[in-house]
Amino acid sequence: METSVDIPEGVTVSISGKAIEATGPLGTLRKDLSFMPLVSFSKSGDKVVIRTPRDKKNDKKFLHTARAHVRNVLDGVTKGYRYVLDIYHVHFPLRVAVQGEEIVVSNFLGSKTERRTRGHPDVKVRVQGKQVLVEGLDKELVGQVASRIEQLTKVKGHDRRVFKDGVFLTKRGYMNE
């Protein structure tokens, strides 16, 4: 069983074993898919061909998952990914700052302690007014950093409908949107 993904114009792809490296207008992204045992990759002209040895239900699942990973890599080097998080506060003004690779949330619900999380060197985090923009080429890394920022303001035992303060994911998309 096999499927293929078209390589966009202006993107070069190299495959070594189960590692795929794509270089496009926004940069280079390498993805190691060695955790997928039944899938093999090859390049045929302007397509990435993904194969499985059998025609079983489980193999089909691996095939489609691998295809999604390859598409994400190709979209990352051509379009990039952007997650937008909004900063909400009702009473205490919430402050979000980026210090190097660390994201710091202070004055959350009037607390004197700062809440910190680490970013990633390949992911760019910016604060613009009441929004936090998380941008990068790797969809998984961008999502992880956005999730970490959102988790900083999660409060156990409080109803989110009553305590609306926090940083919340509001939009996902591509950088050029």
Last residue of a domain, one of 28, 56, 78: 78
Output the pLDDT for position 82.
97
The domain containing residue 100 runs over which residues? 81-174
The confidence band for 155, taking pLDDT boundaries of 50, 70 and 90, is: confident
pTM for the predicted model, two decimal places: 0.89
Token reading at 10: 């202006």
Last residue of a domain, one of 41, 59, 78: 78
Which CATH number fits the domain that encloses residue 146? 3.90.930.12
Last residue of a domain, one of 32, 47, 78: 78
